[in-house]
Structure 1
Amino acid sequence: MAEPLSHHLLTMAYNNAWANHRLYKACLQLTQDDFVAPRCGFFPSIKATLEHILQVDSFYLQALECEHRGEPPDTEAEGLFEPQEIFESCDQLQREQAQVDHRLIAYCSQLHDHQLQREVSIVRPGRVQSEQRLRLLAHLFQHQIHHRGQVHAMLAETEIPPPQLDEFFFAQESDLRAQDFAELGWTEEQIWG
């Protein structure tokens, strides 16, 4: 039988990848001008917001993976957290985000409830912060949801309709995610058991 909390974290990792898949399907329909156009949000464009999501995902996932392997934190990881625009196009960003999403699913798939209190070292300016795995993952998922919502709102200012992103957990709504799951190569049983 699956351990309840660690299985929930795994379903959240799948939900994250699924939501990113849907969001990027919409964003890939934008013109480059719409993708980079200045918009109202914490970050000044759809492109900049998606890059921030990817950078922060990479930053925290690297810390989690180092801890899992028993390695010290990467002192260069702090650079992943700095705002930077290194991707030219939406399809480049989408490929990178999908890779990070798969790494997060793989990480969460090996978790056990009794290990969720283990401490993870996170490199911060001038210090190393220590947080429990569970708290760090909860923060990571909340961060992703927060900024995806901003991209969703920015899409509403374009010709491309924002996708529905909240149809994940209900068993009787599996038909609403069936096409995406087929595109991602997933099954309901794979996620829910």
Structure 2
Amino acid sequence: MSLARHFHQMAYNNAWANHRLLSACAKLQPGEFEAARSGFFPSLRATLNHNLTVDWFYIDALERELRGAAPNPDCYQFFAQDEPCQSLEQLSQEQRQSDRRLLAYCAQLMDSELERLVTIDRPGRQQQDTRSRLLAHLLQHQIHHRGQAHCMLSSSSVKPPQLDEFFCAGEAHLRAAEFAELGFTEAMIWD
């Protein structure tokens, strides 16, 4: 299997895991989503907003490079608010859109172009990384903070959802309902 194909499959995994985690959050009691919790960020809302804003930051850079556009001179606009989404409904909608953008980006990837450089304007310097490094970073970032949110759910009224039932063929039935909600099929991802 090609590395480009693997990134596309990981983007599907990312969208599915976000969907499953945010669906669990939708079952929280009033006040639990924004309640103070132990973690790198002080609440589920803050943690999941951080994941979203970092998605916006990196997906913007990847899409700009793909279009041949200059780096975003105002890329830190995505961090202007620590929590741009105050409600779980808004956050879920924005995360779904972000996940769809990442899926579309990964769908066009080819192995021969994974080492193209993506430039991000940082204060006083330009960061240049390959597409493959930025995608690996972005996906790992999501996994890292989803894990923190998963742990935070342990101290809530909602049981944390299983987030590792994506890759094994024998677990397809465990993700079938969410795949239907997302419009995914096993064949789209694995064939």
Show the counterpart of 1:76: 74
- Relative to the length of structure 1, the TM-score reads 0.96
2:182 maps to 1:187:
no
Q: Decide whether the 8 Å contact of 1:121 with 1:131 is kept in 2.
A: yes
For 2:30 and 2:124, the matched residues in 1 are separated by 38
Residue identity in the other structure for 2:187: E
Show the counterpart of 1:152: 150
Show the counterpart of 2:172: 174
For 2:85 and 2:157, the matched residues in 1 are separated by 23
Match of 1:143 among 125, 141, 144: 141
- Greater shift after overlay, 32-41 or 82-91? 82-91
1:106-161 deviation per Cα after TM superposition (whole angstroms, max 9, x unaligned): 00000000000000011222221000000000000100000000000000000100
Q: What pairs up with 1:1-193 in 2 under 5 angstroms?
A: 4-81=2-79, 84-193=82-191
For 1:88 and 1:55, the matched residues in 2 are separated by 13
Residues 126 and 31 (structure 1), Cα distance of their counterparts in 2 relative to 1, 3 Å cut: farther
Residue identity in the other structure for 2:78: L
Q: 3-state DSSP class of the match of 1:129? A: strand
For 1:31 and 1:73, the matched residues in 2 are separated by 42
For 2:146 and 2:69, the matched residues in 1 are separated by 31
Q: Decide whether the 8 Å contact of 1:122 with 1:130 is kept in 2.
A: yes
Q: Decide whether the 8 Å contact of 1:78 with 1:125 is kept in 2.
A: no
- The unaligned stretches of length 5 or more in structure 2 are none
RMSD: 1.1
For 2:75 and 2:190, the matched residues in 1 are separated by 33
For 2:146 and 2:27, the matched residues in 1 are separated by 17
TM superposition outliers: structure 1 runs of 4+ over 2 Å? none
- Relative to the length of structure 2, the TM-score reads 0.97
- Greater shift after overlay, 98-107 or 165-174? 165-174
For 1:105 and 1:81, the matched residues in 2 are separated by 22
For 1:176 and 1:8, the matched residues in 2 are separated by 21
Deviation of the 1:104 alpha carbon: 0.1
Deviation of the 1:31 alpha carbon: 2.9
- The unaligned stretches of length 5 or more in structure 1 are none
The aligned length equals 191
